[in-house]
Chains A and B, each alone.
Chain A
Amino acid sequence: MQKQPLKKVHEIFWKLITAPEGVEEGLRQFPEIQIEDWFKGDEKLSPTRRLNIYANMYFWRIHDAIKEDYPEVFEKIGEKNWNNLMTDYLLRHPSDTPYLQYVGKYLPIFLKESPLSQKWPELYDLALLEWEKAMLFEAKEASTISIEDLQKIDIAKWPHLRFEFVPAFKLIETSKKDCIRIWRKDHAVFHKIISKEESVALNEALAKKPFSDICEKIGDAEKAARFLADWVEGGLIQKMLL
């Protein structure tokens, strides 16, 4: 048997096991290759069947991992659509990460362009929410301030107060321009659709603008204080900066 360079061996193996219609279809890319010259088989299992074991494991392991991150999307579109979606998704976005849990990161944007979104227009928003929630489960821990900490601040200093949010917090905007805040508290992840006013206030706060700017932006200091109290109680703020 002729010596085959390692890189070429890997390339052929990879292309065969990732071919969307299976190894036999993948072999058509390489008309110069006689598969028996590259891989061993026997009367029980041909080289093609043996490679198909890897092809199946490649597809189904990733399929199942992404399904875990998007249970509601899966539930909505059903198994058949999901299987087809995963085939198309892996063709466009083969894993570019060593971490199986991140392979599905492009799914929301992929769904935006998918024909499935014509039948279910809410798919992008649903997927985006599921993905961002999954990511918050593993965000860095941070201590948070309490209402008592806030109350200790001299009232005269409030206009200058700025805030640092915990890493396990995210503000997302849906395709319908709804704002959702997502946060983790005690290892549980929560989400809440918020008012336009609160999203404006949050964006100001996230940009580290002082409390006086937040009040001015929404034109209601009392409401801004209520938002702030809600964020503090939710465990969204880790530091106050003066």
Chain B
Amino acid sequence: MGLRPPHYSHLLENKTQVDWFEIISENYMMEGGRPLAVLDKLREKYPIVMHGVSLSIGSTDKIDFDYLKKLRRLAERIQPAWITDHLCWTGFGGHNAHDLLPLPYTEEAVANTVERIEKVQDFLGRSIGLENVSSYIEYRHATMPEWEFLTEVANRADCGILLDVNNIYVSSVNHRFDPSTYIQNVPADRVWQYHLAGHSDYGDYLLDTHDHPIIDPVWKLYHETIRTIGLRSTLIEWDDHIPEFSVLEAEAEQARGYAKTAA
């Protein structure tokens, strides 16, 4: 489950069925305050995974070592099971879009991203995992499909993959590819974790909004994913219109149900 502020009080006061929590790293990379205090408390009871949104691993800007120092400090504090971010870029010229922007799937982008991942992994002293993002546009000069790009980057940088099943579904509709082809071509031994989430349907395209329940086609794709790649820790993401914790627990239970039938 993703750890989000509206659930802090509930989680501190109640026992849950949750196996582990994922945090948005940047929301805890500060000196103090309630979020960190809550995180410290929950860390005593649950394993934690750190998931960032601002690493900008595919950027052409300089690596932000000040950001990495804070990330490392947080990792030292909470000892996460693993650290992940996104296979994308988030800014240009020292400025940040606070969005997950798609990379062109080219050899140059592979080489640039791999070089940066290696530097980040050296700095953090551990491997990182990268998540495939939802996308709404493709580059004309791309020379490979997204799954090949993801595979090439992960293999050459020796890093993990956080496979977001909803993102595959969203991109497959937006760019008209077969999501099963994606699943079948991901290197299973590199997949550390799955993400599941809801999205919004705008008619002409799907938008990855994390503010709706997971739809049936995504559950179906998840089932296919765990049968093809295998069982992995699975996270349900909600970032907007966050419902009661019990709704999230029910979705997590549904994921467990799929896992049982695939085992």
Q: B-contacting residues of A (Cβ < 8 Å)? A: 1-7, 9-11, 13-14, 17-18, 36-40, 42, 44-45, 47, 49-51, 53-54, 57-58, 61-62, 65, 94-101, 103, 137-141, 167-168, 184, 187
Q: Say which residue of A3, A38, A44, A65 sits within 8 Å of B106 (CB atoms).
A: A3
Given A1-B140, A53-B136, A187-B33, 14 further pairs, Cβ under 8 A: A3-B141, A10-B59, A11-B93, A13-B101, A39-B140, A40-B139, A45-B136, A45-B174, A54-B136, A94-B95, A97-B96, A98-B56, A139-B33, A140-B31
Chain A residues whose C-beta falls within 8 Å of the C-beta of B176 in the assembled complex: 42
Number of interface residues of B (CB under 8 A): 46
Chain B residues whose C-beta falls within 8 Å of the C-beta of A103 in the assembled complex: 96, 98
Contact between chains at A14 and B60 (CB < 8 Å): no
Contact between chains at B60 and A6 (CB < 8 Å): yes
Chain B residues whose C-beta falls within 8 Å of the C-beta of A7 in the assembled complex: 60
Pull 12 A–B residue pairs with CB atoms less than 8 Å apart, ordered by A.
A11-B93, A18-B95, A40-B138, A40-B175, A44-B205, A57-B99, A100-B26, A139-B31, A139-B33, A140-B32, A141-B33, A187-B34
State in angstroms the CA–CA spacing of A97 and B96 once bound together: 6
A-B complex: 10 closest residue pairs judged by Cβ atoms: A98-B54, A14-B92, A140-B31, A138-B33, A138-B30, A50-B137, A140-B32, A95-B96, A141-B32, A187-B34
State in angstroms the CA–CA spacing of A6 and B149 once bound together: 15
B40 to chain A, nearest CB (A): 10
Contact between chains at B205 and A53 (CB < 8 Å): yes
Given A98-B67, A100-B98: A40 in contact with B32 (beta carbons within 8 A): no
Chain B residues whose C-beta falls within 8 Å of the C-beta of A38 in the assembled complex: 139-141
Chain A residues whose C-beta falls within 8 Å of the C-beta of B32 in the assembled complex: 138-141, 167-168
Among residues of B, the one whose C-beta sits closest to the C-beta of A168 is B32
Among residues of B, the one whose C-beta sits closest to the C-beta of A35 is B140
Chain B residues whose C-beta falls within 8 Å of the C-beta of A167 in the assembled complex: 31-32
Chain A residues whose C-beta falls within 8 Å of the C-beta of B42 in the assembled complex: none
State in angstroms the CA–CA spacing of A229 and B56 once bound together: 49
Chain B residues whose C-beta falls within 8 Å of the C-beta of A11 in the assembled complex: 92-93
Q: Say which residue of B112, B137, B204 sits within 8 Å of A51 (CB atoms).
A: B137
Contact between chains at B31 and A14 (CB < 8 Å): no
Contact between chains at A50 and B95 (CB < 8 Å): no
State in angstroms the CA–CA spacing of A58 and B101 once bound together: 10
Contact between chains at A9 and B98 (CB < 8 Å): no
Contact between chains at A54 and B101 (CB < 8 Å): yes
Chain A residues whose C-beta falls within 8 Å of the C-beta of B138 in the assembled complex: 39-40
Contact between chains at B33 and A99 (CB < 8 Å): no
Among residues of B, the one whose C-beta sits closest to the C-beta of A142 is B32
B207 to chain A, nearest CB (A): 7
Contact between chains at B205 and A6 (CB < 8 Å): no
Q: A-contacting residues of B (Cβ < 8 Å)? A: 26-27, 29-37, 54, 56, 59-60, 64, 67, 89-99, 101, 104, 106, 108-109, 112, 136-141, 174-176, 204-205, 207
B143 to chain A, nearest CB (A): 9
Chain A residues whose C-beta falls within 8 Å of the C-beta of B112 in the assembled complex: 6
Contact between chains at B140 and A37 (CB < 8 Å): yes
Chain B residues whose C-beta falls within 8 Å of the C-beta of A39 in the assembled complex: 137-140
Contact between chains at B137 and A47 (CB < 8 Å): yes
Among residues of B, the one whose C-beta sits closest to the C-beta of A45 is B204
Q: Say which residue of A49, A58, A94, A187 sits within 8 Å of B99 (CB atoms).
A: A58
A214 to chain B, nearest CB (A): 28
Contact between chains at A10 and B96 (CB < 8 Å): no
Chain A residues whose C-beta falls within 8 Å of the C-beta of B90 in the assembled complex: 98
Chain B residues whose C-beta falls within 8 Å of the C-beta of A65 in the assembled complex: 98
Contact between chains at B99 and A61 (CB < 8 Å): yes
Chain B residues whose C-beta falls within 8 Å of the C-beta of A18 in the assembled complex: 95, 97
Given A138-B32, A139-B31: A10 in contact with B64 (beta carbons within 8 A): no
State in angstroms the CA–CA spacing of A178 and B204 once bound together: 54
State in angstroms the CA–CA spacing of A33 and B98 once bound together: 26
Chain B residues whose C-beta falls within 8 Å of the C-beta of A137 in the assembled complex: 33-34
Q: Say which residue of B93, B104, B108, B139 sits within 8 Å of A14 (CB atoms).
A: B93
Given A10-B92, A54-B136, A187-B33: A61 in contact with B98 (beta carbons within 8 A): yes
State in angstroms the CA–CA spacing of A39 and B91 once bound together: 18
Chain A residues whose C-beta falls within 8 Å of the C-beta of B109 in the assembled complex: 6
Chain A residues whose C-beta falls within 8 Å of the C-beta of B33 in the assembled complex: 137-139, 141, 184, 187
A14 to chain B, nearest CB (A): 4
Contact between chains at B54 and A141 (CB < 8 Å): no
Chain B residues whose C-beta falls within 8 Å of the C-beta of A53 in the assembled complex: 136-137, 205, 207
